[in-house]
Structure 1
Amino acid sequence: MPVRNAIVHHIDKKPDGSPAVLHTRSSPLDVSQAVENLVSDLNESYNSRQNKGWGFFFPESGAYPFSGWLGKFLDGQATFVDFTTQAAEQLTKLMEESNLTVGGHVLFAHYQQGMTDYLSIAVLQQSEGVTVGADLEVSTAHHLDLSHLSLAARINLSEWRTNEKSKQYISYTKSKAGGKRGYDYFRDFLGCQEGIDGPSETRTLLKAFSDFMEKEDLPEPSAREKTGALLDYATAQSKIGQPISLEALSELIDEDRPRAFFEHIRNLDYGLSPEIPADKRTLNQFRRFTGRAEGLSISFESHLLGSKIEYDEGRDALIIRSVPQQLKDQIKRQKEKAN
């Protein structure tokens, strides 16, 4: 993951209500191993965050100048220092107006991953720890805390510059601290409007998969294998911060008919984009419960528990709503034979 440019500015904003003060750096950081490790660790921590939003830039304007500054930097009309200084000044202004958070060290990192260019921005806090030196003396040390990313964003620069129709080239954290207002000003700083609802898109994908599996009427081992293939792929994409490709997923689900699931989604018009962000929380809820005993075999997806399926612990019974049509037809035929 080559780092092309990186810089840290500092917004000194205390919770006592005193005005925020911006301290800027006059030159980019030397791309050392420490900087490479910092950007890599930031990327890993950011990918692990479950609560993220996805969107795209508003048209550049006085209210939303960030995309214009970024574009000038990418076009060689401004230096990385100039671009990040303007951006940090704007962030300081909005942070001061919000009166919701303390400041922090603002890291801007321009890097390449594979063939794709990215820009990551994160407001980082310092934590105090303890270290033991070469002389075996114990002393305190400060480090950037990457485990609590309340204000962070990542922009897929390649997608922004080459795909005008994309509505998901920006991702950003949705901070629980301060609720929605806690990250609104950060999204305003980026000039970002919500484009793709990750949890909703993931739920729609899983609904499409459930419908596909019901239509295919596969044996339980095969159904379990295909569910595992979906979850493994989607989880892996989430871990590296990449979207789910519907075509790639379709190929994994059925190697003999690699277009079958993709065509199912297109023919029934689920409204999914060709690539969607994977929401980890939604994926984690999509697991199968399976049990077999004395001629009875039951299997269902865990997210159905509490909606279509209810467990009555007192009677040790499962209540199934919306019984599959094929099962109902078999039961009716059996009853007719018995009569």
Structure 2
Amino acid sequence: MPIRHCIVHLLDKKPDGTPVVLHARDSELASSQAMENLLADLNESYNAKQGKAWGLFHEESGAYPFSGWLKAYLDGEQDFTTFSRQAVEHLQQLMEESNLSTGGHVLFAHYQQGMTDYLAIALLHHSEGVAVTDALDVTPAKHLDLGQLHLAARINISEWQNNSQSRQYISFINGKNGRKSSDYFRDFIGCQEGLDVPGETRTLLKAFSDFVESEDLPEEQAREKTKTLVGYATSQAKLGEPITLDELSGLIDEERPKAFYEHIRNKDYGMAPEFPADKRTLSQFQRFTGRAEGLAISFEAHMLGSKIDYDEGRNTLVIRQVPTQLREQLRRAQKGADR
């Protein structure tokens, strides 16, 4: 993960309402193993966060100047330190107006992962701990607590520069204490939400359920394909990479690698070819199964409450929108019984 440029500034904001004080670094951080470890840990923590939103820049303006400063830096009109100083001063102003933040160290890191350039921005906080010195004394020590990462954003620079139609080249964490706690940070980036990630993920799962039903797959095959989908999507989310429908289709059916992809296109579900997975939605996607005395029932968890109702008191299931093939079988059986 080559780090092109990295710098840290400090915004000191006390909870007593005193003005925010900026302690700005005047030069970039030197490349080091510690810096690489920090960025790797930051990415791991960021990827693991649930509830991220995805979007794109607002048009550059006085209210949203960040994209203009970033472009000037990328075009070589100013250096990284100057860019970060402009940005952190803007964040200082917005933080001054906010009563929801206590400040912290602000990290700016321009790095490359594979063939893609990213800019990560994170507000970092410390936790108190203890350490043992070389003299074997126990002493108080502070350390960065990346588990408390609540305000951070990542910009896919390559996608922003090369794909003018993209609406998902920025991701950011929605605040722990609700949307208001992250509004000022989103405004600092100048980001507007452009993609409903939970909605896209729900649509994918709906398309998959329809595909399994249309293929009339045996229960074991349906279960294995479900594991494949959830495993792939979860793995991509952990890596911070999007789901690619074409790639997913090949994993779901290796003998017919285009089958699922063509099902999605033919039914016009309206999904983007690539989109990030929502881990919370994925975690709710499982199959309920049961067999007893000639009865076999299997359905995805997301259908409970929509197409299927369970009455625990009466120990009954009510199924709506019976699958077409089953409905035809029942209709034929009913006609035979009426003769």
**Deviation at residue 290 of structure 1 after TM alignment:** 1.5
**Deviation at residue 32 of structure 1 after TM alignment:** 0.9
- Letter paired with 1:25: R
Superposition pairs for residues 229-248 of structure 1, below 5 Å? Answer: 229-248=228-247
**Deviation at residue 293 of structure 1 after TM alignment:** 2.4
The equivalent residue for 2:74 is 74
Structure 2 SS opposite 1:112: strand
Superposition pairs for residues 80-229 of structure 1, below 5 Å? Answer: 80-177=80-177, 179-229=178-228
The equivalent residue for 1:289 is 288
Name stretches of at least 5 consecutive residues in structure 2 with no aligned partner. none
**How large is the RMSD of aligned CA atoms in angstroms?**
1.2
CA distance in 2, matches of 1:139, 1:320: 64
The equivalent residue for 2:265 is 266
Whether 2:59 is the aligned partner of 1:55: answer: no
Give deviations 1:144-172, integer Å, cap 9, x for gaps.
Answer: 11102111000001101111110000000
- Letter paired with 1:151: L
CA distance in 2, matches of 1:107, 1:185: 17
- Letter paired with 1:11: L
**Deviation at residue 5 of structure 1 after TM alignment:** 1.3
The equivalent residue for 2:17 is 17
Name stretches of at least 5 consecutive residues in structure 1 with no aligned partner. none
Moved more, 58-67 or 195-204: 58-67
- Letter paired with 1:198: V
Superposition pairs for residues 23-42 of structure 1, below 5 Å? Answer: 23-42=23-42
**Deviation at residue 123 of structure 1 after TM alignment:** 0.4
The equivalent residue for 2:313 is 314
**Deviation at residue 174 of structure 1 after TM alignment:** 0.4
Whether 2:297 is the aligned partner of 1:298: answer: yes
What TM-score comes out, normalization by structure 1 length?
A: 0.97
**Deviation at residue 51 of structure 1 after TM alignment:** 0.6
**Deviation at residue 97 of structure 1 after TM alignment:** 1.2
Give deviations 1:118-163, integer Å, cap 9, x for gaps.
Answer: 1110001111011222332211110111102111000001101111
CA distance in 1, matches of 2:317, 2:2: 54
CA distance in 1, matches of 2:55, 2:327: 44
- Letter paired with 1:43: N
Structure 1 SS opposite 2:125: strand
**Deviation at residue 266 of structure 1 after TM alignment:** 1.5
CA distance in 1, matches of 2:267, 2:130: 58
Whether 2:276 is the aligned partner of 1:277: answer: yes
CA distance in 2, matches of 1:136, 1:231: 48
**Deviation at residue 228 of structure 1 after TM alignment:** 1.1
CA distance in 1, matches of 2:274, 2:56: 15
Structure 1 SS opposite 2:148: coil
**Deviation at residue 279 of structure 1 after TM alignment:** 0.2
**Deviation at residue 331 of structure 1 after TM alignment:** 1.7
**Deviation at residue 312 of structure 1 after TM alignment:** 2.3
What TM-score comes out, normalization by structure 2 length?
A: 0.97
**Deviation at residue 307 of structure 1 after TM alignment:** 2.5
Give the paired residue count.
338
CA distance in 2, matches of 1:210, 1:184: 36
CA distance in 1, matches of 2:45, 2:297: 38
The equivalent residue for 1:251 is 250
Give deviations 1:176-207, integer Å, cap 9, x for gaps.
Answer: 32x22211111111111111111011111111
Moved more, 158-167 or 319-328: 319-328
CA distance in 1, matches of 2:68, 2:3: 22
**Deviation at residue 19 of structure 1 after TM alignment:** 0.6
CA distance in 2, matches of 1:108, 1:67: 14
Structure 2 SS opposite 1:167: coil
